[in-house]
Every structure is written in C-alpha cells, then in structure tokens.
Amino acid sequence: MSSPRSRSSTYRGSISGVGGSVGTVSRQRSSSSSSSSSEGSARRRGSGACSYFSSGAQNVDFSVRLNQPIFTVTLRFLLAIDLWLSKRLGMCANEESAWGSIRPLVRLVELSGHAMPWFIGTLYSLLCGETVMEQEIMLNLALALLLDLLLVRVVKTLVRRRRPAQNRSDILSTYFIERYSFPSGHATRAAMCARFLLAQLVDTASMRVLVLGWAVLVSLSRLLLARHYVTDVAFGLAMGYCQYSLVERLWVTWDCLQDLLLMLLGDRLNRT
C-alpha cells in the first residue's frame, strides 16, 4: 500500500499537470484570438482600401460625365428646364391642382382646337359657300387640316416622346388624344389656322386680336392641363406657322380642281 505522502505528491502532480495543460490551452486560445484580431484588422484595412478605390472609381466616372461634349450637356440642361417648367405650368392637371376649379373651362378651350370641330365647320362652309372664292378657301383649309394631321402623325411616330406624368386621361382624351407628346397637334393646328385666317378671311384689327388670342389660349391650355411639355408646344407653333407656307405654295384653285376631276373622270370613262 502507498503511503499518505506518496498519494499527496501524486495528487499534486496530477493537479499541476492539469494546470499546465489548461495554461497551454489558454495560450493557444490567446494566440488564435490575436491572429484572428490581426486578420480582422487586415480585413478592415482591405475593406477600407476597397471603399477608397470604389469612391475613386465613382470620381472617375463623374469626371468622365463632365467631359461630355458641350452639345450633350446643353441639351440635358435644357431638357431639365423643360421638365421643371412644364411641371410648374400644369396647374389644371386635375381637380386637386392649384387651378383645378377652372379645369372645365380650360378643357373647353382645348376642345376648340381639336381637329374634329374644325373639319366639321370647314366641310359645312364648303358645302354652303355662296361664291366660288369662299368654296376655294374652305377647300384649301380642309386640305391644310389633312396635311397638318399627316405631318404631326409622322413626327410623333418618329420621336415617340411620352406625355407628362401629370397628364390625366379622361373620357374625351382617351379616344381623341394620342399617347405621344411631341409635337403638340393642337399647337400646330392653332398656329396654322390662325395664319390661314389672318391671310385669307380676317381683315379687321379686332378680329386679328381675337384670332391671335385664341391661338395663344389653345397652346396654353395644353400646358395647363399637363398634356404636353413646353418644347412640344413651342415646336408645334413653329411647325404650324411653317405649314401655312407650304399650303400657300400648293394652293388649289377651283378651276384646277375641276380640270383635275374632269381628267380623272375622262380616264375612268375611257377605261370602261
């Protein structure tokens, strides 16, 4: 049997061995934690470097944007002004707008510049004309309206600019207003018809002021109702003004129309 002293010494040795092993484990843990902390700091430094390089890349992209041609920068600046001004002018876009209470009146002005009332009035005046001169003027006005619809449709199909986001579709606009915005058909029609009337029918100062005021109100109604942008209306007015010059060059006289009809009728009879 072992003595008490030997058992106590053995017990102390085992405790010291356990303590040594625990100390070894703690040292290993401390070393691993220090290595992980160093790795974490390295990662943080790496991420900081990445963020720094990413910010540098953004600065490079921004400098590249600033190095764009002056024409592109000017065009974007003008489009931004166009969007801002068109949004400010859309004060009758809906009933909750600043001038929403006069929206029905503005829509009535808008209707006066629509193609359908002009076609109906022109055809009625053509059929009920008392003189050949009156019928000739109404005939050329009808042809001018057809030319206006054709040219506006071609330009809108080529540009395909969407209408402003403020535009609210109602019953009338759903069926009679196109989805494309550039140029404004009402503005082209107002400018062309105003110049046509001033050149062919209107001969007093009061009527001239009335016709010009109507053209301005029709164009302004497109902006108040947020149907178009400012550039759409401005280009439409210029386009309609130039359209009358084309109509004047291609003016169809009543005698020329009769000769053309007789020629077509004679060819048709000869074929039959």
Please count the structural domains in the chain: 2
Q: Is-contact 185 115, C-beta < 8 A?
A: yes
Print the domain residue range for 160.
85-271
Q: What is the pLDDT of residue 37?
A: 45
114 given a catalytic annotation: no
CA distances to 88, 212, 222 from 102, rounded to whole Å, are 16, 22, 14
Same structural domain for residues 128 and 224?
yes
Same structural domain for residues 63 and 126?
no
Q: What is the pLDDT of residue 28?
A: 47
Same structural domain for residues 152 and 122?
yes
Token reading at 29: 């843990």
Q: What is the pLDDT of residue 172?
A: 52
Q: What is the pLDDT of residue 15?
A: 39
Q: Which of 103, 156, 186, 222 is catalytic?
A: 186
Tell me the H-state helices in 113-204: 115-127, 132-159, 171-176, 185-200
Same structural domain for residues 30 and 90?
no
DSSP output for 74-117: HHHHHHHHHHHHHHHH-TTSSTTSTTGGGHHHHHHHHHHTSHHH
CA distances to 32, 54, 60, 181 from 47, rounded to whole Å, are 22, 10, 20, 49
CA angle 58, 61, 65 (to 5 degrees): 135
Same structural domain for residues 266 and 236?
yes
Q: What is the pLDDT of residue 54?
A: 37
Q: What is the pLDDT of residue 86?
A: 85
Identify whether 49 is part of a domain.
Answer: yes
Q: What is the pLDDT of residue 50?
A: 38
Q: What is the pLDDT of residue 100?
A: 78
Same structural domain for residues 188 and 239?
yes
CA–CA gap between residue 156 and residue 233 (Å, rounded) = 13
Q: Which of 93, 148, 228, 233 is catalytic?
A: 228
Alpha carbon distance, N-terminus to C-terminus of the chain = 145
**Residue-level length of the chain:** 272
Same structural domain for residues 62 and 158?
no
Q: What is the pLDDT of residue 60?
A: 38
Q: What is the pLDDT of residue 213?
A: 94
Same structural domain for residues 36 and 154?
no
Same structural domain for residues 95 and 173?
yes
Q: What is the pLDDT of residue 62?
A: 36
Identify whether 214 is part of a domain.
Answer: yes
Same structural domain for residues 153 and 258?
yes
Averaged over successive runs of 10 residues, the pLDDT of the chain (272 residues) comes to 44 43 45 46 42 37 57 83 87 80 88 91 87 87 93 91 76 58 91 93 90 94 90 94 92 76 74 74
Identify whether 75 is part of a domain.
Answer: no
Same structural domain for residues 33 and 145?
no
